[in-house]
Amino acid sequence: MGQIIQYIQSYRHSDLTPGAAGNMFWALVYIMLVFVGLSVAVIAMNWLERKILAHMQVRLGPMRVGPHGLLQPIADAIKLLLKEDIMPAEADGLIFWVAPFVVVLAAFTVFVVVPFGPTHAITDMNIGILFMLGVSSLSVLGIVMAGWASNSHYPLIGALRSSAQMVSYEVAMGLAVVSAILMTSLNAEGTGTLSMIGIVQAQQAQHEWFIFKFFPLGLVAFFIFAVAMVAETNRAPFDLAEAESELTAGFHTEYSGFRWSLFFLAEYSAMIAVSSIAVTLWLGGWLRPFPNLLRNATWDLVFSLFPGITFLFFAAICFYNAARMPKHPLFRIQTVGLAGFGMVLGLIGLILFIPVVSIRVQDIFWFAAKVAGFMYMYIWYRGTFPRYRFDQLMQMGWKVLLPMGLGVLILTASVALLQEKLWHP
């Protein structure tokens, strides 16, 4: 017993991730935390997407289930779980059954290496970024399986489109990633890294987020990645695989109930995963804004207040809307519920003001805030852009993004070499 406690305690002051330190207990705890956090994020994202999109489109969005529709995603989840599970008679049963799990597995496994902070990751692999790109591209396998096993025309076309799209955009994506990795090697030792944590630490050491590095090279690489990642996750305006107006629902046309919700879950966690890659590679991962410019105790304190302030702000919105609720008795439960939700948020906000907590949480906060920015962009694209046609999509992937990626890679390498030879001989 004592040994077990000692084993658990031994990790406490480690400056490694639990996986890298080899501590199975804390690795499991982190896995649970990431899994729960991800599920909550997907639920929140579901509600936020519907709300934000609705407000962009001059409507209210979900308003009935819970105050301002806050419980709508939960109601939907229950509905999906209770729905009849339909499998087409002509479908290939086993593959049809396995496909959603492959997609979900690929989407969730990548979070093993996502660094939420210098030690807040399940593990730190020395091939982290390769692992992420590799595993996340496995999801195309699940999509093809789903399309093929459905034994139906629309899913088949959707799956074909999806696989062609993901494969071609991965090339441009990979080139953009390589140019970011090149930048990690610009230190005294000249040693680059593929580790996700290492990449962020390289940005910290070079006092520069890679998006601003060699301006505008970093920015262009980031742009290529930002376009490719939307295509990679099959989201508007590249949502050809599930183009509603063309293929009804694309590769998941024949899926219903729980299996369908797995595809949904996978799509959103894949969105979060690729956003995490972009944040890690170009936006400084968990680093707070201006880590070098504004570095003294006062600024540290100011920035450590942000997590708490954010939650208090959300709490204030909840209280404001609770006060604005109709005074009719029918709305009492909703008003109380919204105020209660605001109180929970406010409580979390207050806890985050405690220095001990805020020191540990602020890394995660900045990481999440940056990812949330990407999530908002996803919704924004969906609200504004029409859908690309398949051949135009391919044209953009191969004729625009790929040459751009190659150019950026070559230029980055040349500039780095010149810098090494000329300015730091």
Partner 1 sequence: MTDQNSSLSHLDLETPEKPFLDANELVINMGPQHPATHGVLRVILRLDGEKVLGLECVIGYLHRGVEKIGEHRTYTMFNPYVDRMDYVAAVSNGLGYCETVEKLLNVEAPPRAQHVRVILTELNRIASHQLWLGTHALDIGAITPLFYTFRDREEILKIYEKYCGARLTTHAFRIGGLQYETYAGFEKDVKNFLDFFGPKIDEYEELLTTNRIWVERTKNVGNISAQDCIALGVTGPVLRASGVKWDLRKAQPYANYKNFDFDIPIGQNGDTYDRYLVRMGEMRQSVRIVQQAINALPEGPIMAKVPKVMKPAVGEVYHSIEAPKGELGYFIVSDGSTQPYRVRVRPPSFVNLQALDVMCRGQLVADVIAVIGTLDIVLGEVDR
> The tokens 């040994």 sit on which residue?
3
Tell me whether residue 208 or residue 267 sits nearer to partner 1 (CB atom): 267
Please choose, from the candidates 186, 193, 191, 126, the residue with its C-alpha nearest in 3D space to the C-alpha of residue 413: 186
Q: Decide: is 191 part of the binding site for partner 1 (CB under 8 A).
A: no
Q: Decide: is 382 part of the binding site for partner 1 (CB under 8 A).
A: yes
Q: Which stretch binds partner 1 (CB under 8 A): 53-61, 292-300, 331-339, 404-412?
A: 53-61
Q: Which of 85, 90, 244, 420 binds partner 1 (CB under 8 A)?
A: 244
Q: What are phi and psi of 363, to 5 degrees?
A: -60, -50
Rounded to a whole number of angstroms, the minimum distance from the CB of residue 386 to partner 1 is 4
Q: Decide: is 88 part of the binding site for partner 1 (CB under 8 A).
A: no
Q: Which of 15, 84, 189, 391 binds partner 1 (CB under 8 A)?
A: 391
Give, to the nearest 10 degrees, the angle between helix 257-282 and helix 355-384: 110
Q: Which stretch binds partner 1 (CB under 8 A): 51-59, 65-73, 316-324, 403-411?
A: 51-59
Give me the DSSP letters along 123-153: ---TTHHHHHHHHHTTHHHHHHHHHHHTTSH
Tokens at 49, concatenated: 């997407």
Q: What is the DSSP letter of 287?
A: P
Tokens at 143, concatenated: 């999509």
Q: 142-181: which residues touch partner 1 (CB under 8 A)?
A: 153-154, 157, 161
Q: Decide: is 60 part of the binding site for partner 1 (CB under 8 A).
A: no
Tokens at 202, concatenated: 């390289």
Can you say whether residue 335 is alpha, beta or left, with left for phi > 0 and alpha for psi between -120 and 50 degrees? alpha
Q: Decide: is 383 part of the binding site for partner 1 (CB under 8 A).
A: yes
Q: Which of 9, 10, 57, 419 binds partner 1 (CB under 8 A)?
A: 57
Q: Which stretch binds partner 1 (CB under 8 A): 49-57, 132-140, 190-198, 349-357?
A: 49-57
Can you say whether residue 385 is alpha, beta or left, with left for phi > 0 and alpha for psi between -120 and 50 degrees? beta
Residues forming contacts to partner 1 in the complex (CB under 8 A) are 53, 56-59, 153-154, 157, 161, 236-237, 239-240, 243-248, 382-392
